[in-house]
């Protein structure tokens, strides 16, 4: 009999409290990791849209170097940068319908101001505008994805951490 009692005392294992503490710690770590993951994903989506705009702007500058004017003609833009999905905007600067994620939208108004825009999968719209090639580009971000002529807040600083 003493032998059985001694064997039971020597058995090792985890108590219910110890298991519950481990489960609680894992739950807290998951609760911290999931929002961080989604934030990183949104940031990556935003950076992708910004990169597309910069590549589109570079293509426009290359075209400008040869023709001394910007263009919104798709064939000319695709000849310079075929890897981008170029989409023209309506001539009045209205929103594209539908405003898709992925493509680069080019718009040239009647005075020659170039606007290159893209929408990220995180539903932010990024704009790069230039009306004088020697003055440099202006940048704007809009969470409402307004029509190109209605976008305000253009600054000389880039989109930064947006």
Q: 9 lies in a domain? A: no
Are the C-beta atoms of residues 154 and 138 closer than 8 Å to each other? yes
Residue 160 inside a domain? The answer is no
Question: Could you tell me the pTM of the whole model?
Answer: 0.73
- Closest C-alpha to 57, from 153, 142, 139: 139
Residue 134 counted as domain residue? yes
Residue span of the structural domain in which 104 resides: 15-150
Strands of the sheet with 138-142, listed across from one edge: 86-88, 104-108, 114-119, 125-130, 138-142
Q: Is residue 159 part of a domain?
A: no
Q: Write out pLDDT tens, residues 59-81.
A: 999 999 998 888 888 889 999 99
The pLDDT assigned to 17 comes to: 92
Q: Is 89 within the bounds of a domain? A: yes
Domain count, the chain: 1
User: For residue range 111-158, what is the model confidence (pLDDT) as tens digits?
Assistant: 888 888 899 988 888 999 988 777 788 898 888 776 666 677 788 887
pLDDT mean across residues, the chain? 83
């Amino acid at each position: 009999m003493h032998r059985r009692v001694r064997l039971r005392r020597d058995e090792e294992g985890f108590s219910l409290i110890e298991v519950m503490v481990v489960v609680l710690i894992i739950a807290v770590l998951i609760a911290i990791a999931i929002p961080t993951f989604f934030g990183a994903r949104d940031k990556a989506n935003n950076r992708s849209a910004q990169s597309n705009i910069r590549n589109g702007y570079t293509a426009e500058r290359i075209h400008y170097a040869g023709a001394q004017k910007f263009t919104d003609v798709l064939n000319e833009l695709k000849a310079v940068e075929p890897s981008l999905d170029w989409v023209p905007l309506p001539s009045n600067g209205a929103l594209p319908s539908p405003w898709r994620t992925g493509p680069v939208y080019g718009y040239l108004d009647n005075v020659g101001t170039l606007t290159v825009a893209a929408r990220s999968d995180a539903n932010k719209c990024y704009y790069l505008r230039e009306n004088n090639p020697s003055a440099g580009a202006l940048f704007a971000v809009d969470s409402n994805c307004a029509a190109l002529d209605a976008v305000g807040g253009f600054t000389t600083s880039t989109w930064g951490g947006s």
